[in-house]
Structure 1
Amino acid sequence: MKNVTAICAALGLTAMTALGCSEAQDEATGKISWPDGKKAAIALTYDDALDTHLDVAAPALDARDLKGTFFVTVGSYPFTGRMEEWRELAGDGHELANHTLFHPCVGGPDREWVMADRDLATYTVGRFVDELALTNRVLEAMDGESVRTYAYTCGDTTAGGESIVEALAPYAIAARTVQQETPTTENGLPDPYLIGTYAEGDPTGEQLIGYAERILEDGTVGTYLFHDIQGEHLSVTAEAHGELLDWLAEHSDEVWVTTFREIMEYVREQEVAE
């Protein structure tokens, strides 16, 4: 097996300790040896740049010294109307991630709410990546970061009927789906562009914790998809959200809770080590 530290150095990654580059992948194919003796990794992700992310979710995370990933739609009013607060959020160590410029989705039956000019079915892949690139530029102006992750809007992975998954590579190091399971690549590692998530509607704290326990048992990557916290849009209660955060804080010796970007940077390093 190749030496991970040497590879990281060759790639010019100076923050080897932060990225866990000194950690090696287990000899068993696909088994990840997480940093600092952790047994699994979980990212708390929040979609659509909603007001309750700033007003409820971020304070709850900060109170427990946890970091979250906020998949923002930069053309939405809660983002454009509170840009300085989003900038401060990033400055506090949370991740601003790409959730497109206008949140286009594939329209059709049961999706009559999709506006004609934001229907991914009428996009080309070229238009999609142009908007993706512009979103990255806006976010870089906010937080100074050049490495970005992505979340599929409405879980859709096509534009104009063509897959956008492979087109993501120049713009995002990883992408989160809306499916719970994560497929693996040939080397047994999680597919970085099809990372699964817990996205059940109106869950209890017990249900949220149950998913974390399964991720811990499997020793893999897990994510949560939240929209409103104690709000109106696909909401989860602040109580259930808080119960999960308390559990994660109490199990910080076992579960690596950090941004989706940091977790996926680490996972991508395991690919290099193969």
Structure 2
Amino acid sequence: MKTPLLLLPALLGLGAVAPSQAQTTSVWNNKQCAVVLTYDDAIDGNLDIVVPALDSVKLRGTFYLIGSSPVVAKRLPEWRRAAQRGHELGNHALMHPCDGSLPGRDFVTPDNDLSKYTLYRAVSEVRANNTLLNAIDGKTARTFAYPCGDLTVGGVKFYDQLQNDFVGARGVTSGLQTPAQIDLTNIDAYMINGQSGDYLVDLVKQAQKSHTLLVFLFHGVGGGHGLNVDLKAHRQLLRYLKAQEKNIWVAPMVDVAAKVKASQQTAAGKR
């Protein structure tokens, strides 16, 4: 049977769109989207509340550890066990330096003021933290998270010297992105501080509809940090992710970034 001419534009349009969507979902393990749960600063609540909560629903997250944190030093065996269960121990720098010259940075001390760092010191401290993390989990592939989202030392992007040390780096700019849109040197993330469970779930639904990557940036869960999300809200998010596990790929940042990197390299090779 001949195809009516009026239908040809629609059919051609479908042919143009379908491969793109198929390529995107293949990066997300043939699911609608990818969700990454990240937790910053190596606080007690990560081990006391978050890891058990994730383990209870068999989801895996990324914990960005500050190497100098007392919670790292005092609880090494517990961090090691978390890594053994599939959670990523990410790099949040050795001293968590932030740019004290920026507005609202009264909390920055002279000892960890990134604006007073040399480029060499910034890079060296991140690499020293990688050595520590490797001693804990035995892994060489991991991701980095910029302390305070600060990217530069003296106007120079210090991560440029670290790209071979990591699979990717998480930033603090909110956004949902397709694999092609993602900048692996500064991956978008939604910082959560006091938002409701409905808000968290709605973000996931938006990612499902747009076939994009959604990264959550948590600090305290149920307390323990100035930036915090309510336990009920966090639990509501985990319940939704578990219920939708056939449609949503929930994985540590290192796994998702590796898939994105491979897809971008493949796309670049076809140009």
**TM-score range, shorter-chain basis?**
0.7 to 0.9
Identity of aligned residues (%): 36
Give the conservation status (yes or no) of the 8 Å contact 1:30–1:188: no
In the TM superposition, 1:97-176 aligns within 5 A as: 97-108=90-101, 109-176=103-170
Tell me, in whole angstroms, the C-alpha distance in 2 between the residues paired with 1:270 and 1:87.
Answer: 31
Structure 1 position 167, deviation (Å):
2.3
Return the match for 2:88 from 92, 95, 107: 95
C-alpha RMSD of the superposition:
2.0
Q: Report the number of matched residues.
A: 248
Tell me, in whole angstroms, the C-alpha distance in 1 between the residues paired with 2:176 and 2:76.
Answer: 33
Q: Counterpart of 1:33 in 2: which secondary structure?
A: helix
Give the conservation status (yes or no) of the 8 Å contact 2:176–2:207: no
Runs (5+) with no aligned partner, structure 1: 1-24
TM-score of the pair, normalised by structure 1: 0.85
TM-score of the pair, normalised by structure 2: 0.86
Q: Counterpart of 2:229 in 1: which secondary structure?
A: coil
**Which one has a larger percent helix, Structure 1 or Structure 2?**
2
Structure 1 position 79, deviation (Å):
1.1
Residue in structure 2 matched with residue 21 of structure 1 by the alignment? none
Residue 210 in structure 1 maps to residue 210 in structure 2? no
Give the conservation status (yes or no) of the 8 Å contact 2:28–2:34: no
Return the match for 1:48 from 35, 41, 65: 41
Structure 1 position 143, deviation (Å):
0.7
Give the conservation status (yes or no) of the 8 Å contact 1:215–1:221: yes
Residue in structure 1 matched with residue 217 of structure 2 by the alignment? 225
Tell me, in whole angstroms, the C-alpha distance in 2 between the residues paired with 1:140 and 1:26.
Answer: 39
Residue in structure 1 matched with residue 4 of structure 2 by the alignment? none
Give the conservation status (yes or no) of the 8 Å contact 1:183–1:194: no
Give the conservation status (yes or no) of the 8 Å contact 1:182–1:194: no
Give the conservation status (yes or no) of the 8 Å contact 2:25–2:31: no
Residue in structure 2 matched with residue 20 of structure 1 by the alignment? none
Residue type of the partner of 2:204?
A
Runs (5+) with no aligned partner, structure 2: 1-17
Q: Counterpart of 1:37 in 2: which secondary structure?
A: coil
Tell me, in whole angstroms, the C-alpha distance in 1 between the residues paired with 2:88 and 2:169.
Answer: 14
Residue in structure 2 matched with residue 7 of structure 1 by the alignment? none
Tell me, in whole angstroms, the C-alpha distance in 2 between the residues paired with 1:75 and 1:107.
Answer: 19
Tell me, in whole angstroms, the C-alpha distance in 2 between the residues paired with 1:183 and 1:106.
Answer: 27
From the CA coordinates, give the structure whose radius of gyration is larger.
2
Give the conservation status (yes or no) of the 8 Å contact 1:26–1:33: no
